[in-house]
């Protein structure tokens, strides 16, 4: 069963064969370390927003409410949807959602099983850097071989008012969406050691799904194991097993699904390998875009 550590899955109702989802784009105070909140924008109270899970062939209707002070939209990144549902207003014939309004995105899932993302496509340089994004996974109804399945979305942030190398004190921090000088780094909205470890059991087949959507490209490194690159951007890599690696570069806009067998007991780090991305505000110790796999 797919789990997005620290992030919920989006509930839905079914009516006449259509799955109905609801997302509210809104200001979110996301707690990235205990007592440390970023004043960002997210969906349904979290950054990233809740993970949407569907099956191939599903008919979906996703109602997106805009509780932001400006227009927004959602682009279903990687999905083959009709132009009007693709969520790039002014360029495509897809609407802006004005503040206080909503829009029903509705389409059929025609992609194969795989990992995708959703994010705003209005004022991207600002809205995406404030956090308007989430995971969109097409599950495989026939899958039997995967014992653990985790989705990890990486984000980088520029918190206003931090002095480099100094401890990050609890508080509510504004974000500078235009800065390229990032000081905090999260996986599913948490910085280490506040990320939730991922349990595995010996002999499990484990899938990790990585996604990035903002500015930086994150080379995700797993300790103690080699993994097979199974899919990228929601599409299978053929032949499977062609590339065995322990570090995969996840560029902005990409997803990579990797598989490995849990055959080396312990507590194993999974982290971005960029030196600064595994610290909190350049302080000593381990932080940032870092989580662990824990054998039970």
Within 262-281, the residues that bind its own copies by CB under 8 A are: 264-269, 273-276, 278-279
Q: Which of residues 134-173 bind its own copies (CB under 8 A)?
A: 164-165
Binding residue for its own copies, selected from 1, 16, 34, 91, defined by CB under 8 A: 91
Q: How far is the CB of 69 from its own copies (least distance, A)?
A: 12
Instruction: Please give the full DSSP string across 152-180, using - where no structure is assigned.
Output: EEEEEE-BTTPPTTS---SEEEEB-TT-S
β-bridge partners, 207: 149, 259
Measured from the CB of residue 125, what is the shortest distance to its own copies in angstroms? 4
For residue 154, give every residue at least 6 positions away whose Cβ sits within 8 Å of its Cβ, in sequence order, or none. 185, 186, 187, 210, 211, 212, 218, 220, 250, 272, 289
Q: Please give the residues from 30 up to 49 whose contact with its own copies meets the rule CB under 8 A.
A: none
* Residues 257 and 122: beta-carbon distance below 8 Å: no
Q: Which one, 150 or 268, has the nearer CB to its own copies?
A: 268
Q: How far is the CB of 204 from its own copies (least distance, A)?
A: 16
What are the distances in angstroms from CA 115 to CA 52, 242, 250? Answer: 10, 19, 13
Among 15, 34, 239, 296, interactor with its own copies by CB under 8 A: 239
d(CA 87, CA 83): 8
Q: Please, which residues bridge with residue 175 across strands?
A: 159
**Contact track, its own copies, 213-232, x by CB under 8 A:** xxx-x-x-x-xxxx-----x
Minimum Å gap between C-beta 221 and its own copies is 5
How far, in Å, CA of 231 to CA of 40, rounded?
31
CB of 211 to its own copies, least distance (A): 11
Question: Is position 83 an interface residue for its own copies (rule: CB under 8 A)?
Answer: yes
Q: What's the CA dihedral at 266, 271, 275, 276 to 10 degrees?
A: -120
| Shortest separation between residue 13's beta carbon and its own copies, angstroms | 28
Interface with its own copies in residues 94-123 (CB under 8 A): 111, 121, 123
């Amino acid at each position: 069963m797919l789990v997005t550590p620290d992030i919920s899955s989006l509930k839905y109702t079914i009516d006449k064969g259509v799955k109905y989802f609801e997302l509210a784009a809104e200001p979110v105070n996301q707690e990235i370390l205990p007592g440390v909140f970023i004043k960002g924008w997210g969906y349904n109270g979290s950054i990233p927003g809740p993970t949407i899970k569907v099956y191939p062939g599903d008919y979906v209707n996703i109602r997106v409410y805009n509780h932001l002070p400006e227009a927004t939209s959602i682009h279903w990144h990687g999905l083959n949807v009709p132009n009007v549902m693709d969520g790039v207003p002014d360029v495509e014939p897809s609407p802006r959602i004005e503040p206080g309004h909503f829009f029903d995105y509705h389409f059929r899932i025609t992609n194969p099983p795989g990992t995708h993302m959703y994010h705003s496509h209005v004022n991207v340089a600002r809205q995406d850097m404030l956090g308007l994004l989430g995971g969109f996974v097409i599950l495989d109804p026939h899958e039997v071989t995967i014992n653990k399945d985790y989705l990890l979305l990486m984000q980088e942030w520029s918190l206003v008012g931090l002095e480099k190398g100094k401890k990050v004190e609890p508080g509510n921090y504004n974000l500078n969406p235009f800065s390229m000088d990032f000081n905090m780094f999260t996986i599913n909205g948490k910085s280490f050691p506040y990320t939730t470890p991922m349990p595995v059991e010996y002999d499990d087949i484990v899938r990790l799904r990585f996604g990035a959507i903002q500015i930086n490209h994150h080379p995700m490194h797993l300790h103690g194991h080699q993994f097979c690159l199974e899919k990228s951007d929601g599409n299978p890599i053929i032949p499977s097993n062609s590339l065995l690696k322990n570090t995969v570069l996840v560029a902005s806009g990409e997803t990579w699904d990797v598989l490995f067998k849990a055959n080396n007991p312990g507590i194993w780090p999974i982290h971005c390998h960029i030196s600064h991305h595994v610290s909190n505000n350049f302080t000593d110790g381990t932080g940032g875009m870092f989580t662990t796999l824990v054998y039970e």
